[in-house]
Each structure stands twice: as C-alpha cells, then as structure tokens.
Structure 1
Amino acid sequence: MISVVIPTYNEEANIAACLVSLCNQTLPRERYELIVVDGGSKDRTREIAAEYADQVFIQTSKKVGGARNDGAKAAKGEIVATTDADCVIPTDWLERIEADFARHPDVVQVYGLVYPKEKNLKHSISLALANFFSRLGSWTHSMYYTLGCNTAFRREAFIEVGMYRCIDAGDDLEIARRTREVGTVFLDTSLRVAFDMRRYEQFGTLKSLWEWIYIVVRGGNTEKYSYSKREYK
C-alpha cells in the first residue's frame, strides 16, 4: 500500500482539486490511502478533505515537515508519498511511484519534477530552473533538490533517518542527504505534478526566491521570514 500525506492550512480553495486528482489514479483505490494533516485551518479545509481522504487530523508537530512526519507515523503503507494541497496530480502518479520502487529494490526515495499550474512564461522559466537543480542532484549524487510536493519514501527508511526536519524552509532539500546514507535516491523525470505559483504571483518571484534562500542559508529558521502558515489572497 502507498500512503499519500498532504499537509494543509486554509486550503479550502484548492484541497478538493488536489484530492479529486488523487482519487482518480490508475492505481486501484484499495492500494493507497489519503492522509490530510491540517495545521489548524480556520476555513472549511478539513470538512472538504473529509469527503475524499481516509484520514484527516490536526498536526501535533511543528511546521510543514512536522505535518508530513505526523502523516507518516499514521500511515499504513510501506511507501509514503508526499504532495501539497495546492498541487494537481497526474492520474498515473501513484502507479509510477509503485513501479519505481518495485523495479529498484535499493531505492529508498523517489522524486520527480514540477510544472506550473498557471500558464505563464515567467513561471515556466522559474520551474525549469528548479527542475535543473533536481536533475543536478541526480547527476552528482549530492546537492539533492527533492520537492516535498513530488516525492516518496520507503516508510521504514524514512523513519530510520529521522524523517523531515521541522523547519520553515529547506526540509525537502536536505532530507535526501540522509536517505542516501541508507539507500539510493532516484529521480524519475516522468514523475511530474502541477505546482501552484501563487506565492510567486502574490509576493513576486525574486522576493520569494530570496526569502527561501535566506531561510535555508540560516539553517531553515529565521525570525525575519516564515513560510509556515502563509496567508494568500
């Protein structure tokens, strides 16, 4: 079984589309479960999610990484996949993840690429750069750039290495540095999800990238900027 973990916070405008895409997978529904871990939403996120997900509960750990960890602890599957509440998932996503782990017994983490939900040249260029760094990690077997919206783990290995760090940013950047110590980290370039660019649209591409870099360089936490529970228009 595959357990899909989706962290949420005030996502009533996006969570249904995400979960519908996950319910319409080519993998039979009985072979995966959907776990929504909510950060205390003030809107109808949990109510909407309950219509589609197998489990919906409020996180007890901090930050987005902590929500993913809470979901992994509650998971029934041998594989834990993670995505974001504002992403839209292709129908063969879970089938590809299952096949990747089946074909490569040494693999402990699988990750993929992203493309923008919003059709915009600037956004396409931004994510092309992100995808380049994702590929660079695979080529060099270091400097991994594994986005939490499109990755999956063998649950046992994920727990063994300590799961995600509970930080504001960079948790999905550094996790592969630890998982590669217990197995292979594998990039599947055909594994793609539609990534929401609302942060870049609302706050600007350069400002958003600068904030992310600033937080990561300072170890994932800083009082100046916060990625957690960001409010969007």
Structure 2
Amino acid sequence: MSVVVVTYNSAATVGETLSSLSEQTYPGDRYEVLVVDGGSSDETEAVVSEYDAAFHVVEGGSIGACRNRGVALATGEYVAFTDSDCAVPATWIAAHVDRLEDREDETVVGVGGPNRPFPDDPPFAKLVGSLQGTVFGSGGSPQSHAIDEVRTVRSVAACNVVYDAAVFESHRYDDAVNVGEDAEFHHRLAEEGYRFLFDPATAVSHHLSADLGSFSRKNRSYGRAMARIQRRHGALIRWYSPLPSLALGGGTLAALADVRRRKPRYVPLLALAFLAVSAYATRQVYRDRRSPLALLVPLLLAVQYVCYGVGFLEGLIASDPEPTDRS
C-alpha cells in the first residue's frame, strides 16, 4: 500500500495529516507514505522531515502532475490519496482496503468516502461543511452530500480515495489540470465504464473555508476549473455546473424585463424560488448544527452560486482552455 499526500505551502497543516497516517491500524510495515510537493516556499519540507515519509518535489507542478509523480513512485498494490489539509481516521487504510478486497464488481477500481470539517475548526468552516451536506450546497456530489449507505458512484474526492494500482497501468491524472483534477480523471474512467465504491462510514477531516473571502475564492476557482474541463471534453461532467451561470443570466434578463415593463413580475418569482431553496437548506443545516449561524445559509448560498457562476463563465470564455490555475 502506498499513500500519496500532495502538498503546496502546507506547513501549518501537513503535520496533522502525517500524524494521522502514522496512527493507522493497518500494519505499519505494509504501507509507505509519499509526500509530493509542488514547490513550496514555506517550511513544508521541514515539517515532513519529522515524520516517516518520503519527500519529493515537482517544482511548479500542478496537482495533477504531483499526483502522477506519486503514482510513479508508488510500490504498493493499492494507491491511496489524501490532502495536506486533511486528517484520516485510524481505520482509514484498513477500511478502504477491505472494501476493495471484498468487491464483487470488476468495474470498481477504487473506494472513497466523505470529507467533514475538523471538530475544532471555526464555526464558519463547520457551517460550510453542513451546507455542503445538503443537495443545494453540493449538487449531490457524494463526497459532500449526506449519503448513508455504501453505493457505487462515478467519482469520489481525491482527498479520500484508495485505488487499485492496476488502473494506473493505462490511466493517469492529467498533468495540466490543477483544480478539479480528480473530477477530470474520474470522468475519463467513468466513460470507460469504471466505478468507485462510496463508503459514508469512512470520512476524513478536512479544513474547509474559514471565512467568507476564502469561501468566495474557492467557489469561483471551482466554477472556472469545471468550465474549462468541460470545454476540453465537450461533455457535461457535473450536471449542476452550468446552473448558477444560467441563474445569473436568467436573473439579469428578468430584471431587464421588469424594468422595461415598469412592473415587477419575474424578479419576485425568482426571489421566491431562491427563498424556498434557502429555507430548505437552512432547515437541513440547523438540524445538523443546532446553531443560529444556520440563518447565514441564504447568504452563503447566494455567494456560492454567484461566485461559482462567475467563475464558470470565466472558464467558458478563457482563451486558454486548460484549467491550470492553482487554488
């Protein structure tokens, strides 16, 4: 078993990741930890040196390129990935390996699970985590949306995945892709008929956006990357990805129509629809968090949709179709 941790300027968090990997119930002599760095300028290497992990640098490398370097270095029958702002549970390797070894479907090439905020993360990050647990906050993607049973899915998040190493004999991540590299890779696998098992019981802790600014930037980056990836493939990889942009365009047209008519008609209808969506999501988040901060959900949804929608439009019109921007 080879565990690959991709990192970039992660001195503040990579120690948590490596510490959690050192406490696995899986036999220590049966797995290796490989840290692949994209050219950090902070003390990431110094932190990694305190742990039993090999450190490799892909200077200026994208996340896709770093993942591929990890695959090339891996010696195990299975290749696992988690990120340098995550911590995995002690049973992480053992649980995922057991799932893979017991699989009956030959099309299954990996297993993954959800990611959740750290217990000691700021309240805002926990709010973001709860919002992503709703269908309107995640679009139903399994790594975030609340799924309560093991099922077969087309994609999982690369911060919580173990692959059968055999899949890398003929498939790799795209070196040019940074943000969204897992979605792009898994789309190609899915098109060839491969699938993943999603295990909701094996979640990793993940540092989510701690403030509104980082939340906005991340959603804009995701939107831009997804548009570029879909431009490349000429296919809709995430069914929900164009919806925020369409909503922005529709809202603008509705406002212009109401101005032209000098009578509000369409904008109030759109506002009511958004309020209905927000009310549902707010209720779900409150049930999860039991915090008055759930009242911020309408604001977060608005910011998420606007920033993702703007980013998606930027990705559509960008002169360079390659999603190479670093998050």
TM-score (norm 1): 0.84
Overall identity of the aligned pairs, in %: 26
Q: Name 1:178's counterpart in structure 2.
A: 188
**Would you say the 8 A contact 2:152–2:195 is kept in 1?**
no
Amino acid at match of 1:16: G
Q: Name 2:159's counterpart in structure 1.
A: 149
* Residue 130 to residue 227, structure 1, CA distance change in 2 (3 Å): farther
- In the TM superposition, residue 182 of structure 1 has moved relative to its aligned partner by 5.9
Structure 2 counterpart SS, 1:215 = helix
Matched ranges for 1:187-198 at <5 A: 187-198=198-209
Structure whose residues are more often strand by fraction:
1
Structure 2 counterpart SS, 1:166 = coil
Q: Name 1:96's counterpart in structure 2.
A: 95
* Residue 13 to residue 73, structure 1, CA distance change in 2 (3 Å): same
CA offsets 1:128-158 (integer angstroms, 9 cap, x no match): 144931178997854x3x2111111111213
**Would you say the 8 A contact 2:112–2:197 is kept in 1?**
yes
Amino acid at match of 2:203: R
Matched ranges for 1:133-148 at <5 A: 133-134=141-142, 141-142=153-154, 144=155, 146-148=156-158
* Residue 140 to residue 85, structure 1, CA distance change in 2 (3 Å): closer
- In the TM superposition, residue 70 of structure 1 has moved relative to its aligned partner by 0.2
Structure 1 counterpart SS, 2:87 = coil
- In the TM superposition, residue 39 of structure 1 has moved relative to its aligned partner by 1.4
Matched ranges for 1:1-233 at <5 A: 2-59=1-58, 62-104=61-103, 106=106, 107-117=108-118, 118=121, 120=123, 121-128=126-133, 129-130=137-138, 132-134=140-142, 141-142=153-154, 144=155, 146-180=156-190, 181=192, 183-198=194-209, 201=211, 203-219=213-229, 227-228=325-326, 230=327
Moved more, 175-184 or 63-72: 175-184
Gap runs ≥5 in structure 2 = 231-314
- In the TM superposition, residue 206 of structure 1 has moved relative to its aligned partner by 4.0
Structure whose residues are more often helix by fraction:
2
Amino acid at match of 2:187: R
Aligned equivalents of 1:36, 1:70: Cα separation in 2: 10
- In the TM superposition, residue 177 of structure 1 has moved relative to its aligned partner by 2.6
**Would you say the 8 A contact 2:71–2:79 is kept in 1?**
yes
Amino acid at match of 1:111: G
- In the TM superposition, residue 207 of structure 1 has moved relative to its aligned partner by 4.1
Structure showing greater relative contact order (alpha-carbon pairs closer than 8 Å, 6 or more residues apart) = 1
**Would you say the 8 A contact 1:9–1:39 is kept in 2?**
yes
- In the TM superposition, residue 115 of structure 1 has moved relative to its aligned partner by 0.6
Structure 1 counterpart SS, 2:11 = coil
Amino acid at match of 1:4: V
Structure 2 counterpart SS, 1:218 = helix
Task: Give RMSD over aligned pairs.
Answer: 2.9
Aligned equivalents of 2:152, 2:70: Cα separation in 1: 31
**Would you say the 8 A contact 1:21–1:91 is kept in 2?**
yes
**Would you say the 8 A contact 1:114–1:194 is kept in 2?**
yes
CA offsets 1:174-226 (integer angstroms, 9 cap, x no match): 3223334264321111121001114x526243442132112211228767x97
**Would you say the 8 A contact 2:81–2:159 is kept in 1?**
yes
Gap runs ≥5 in structure 1 = none
Aligned equivalents of 1:213, 1:140: Cα separation in 2: 25
CA offsets 1:64-118 (integer angstroms, 9 cap, x no match): 1111110110011111110110101111000111101110152211111011122
Aligned equivalents of 1:30, 1:23: Cα separation in 2: 11
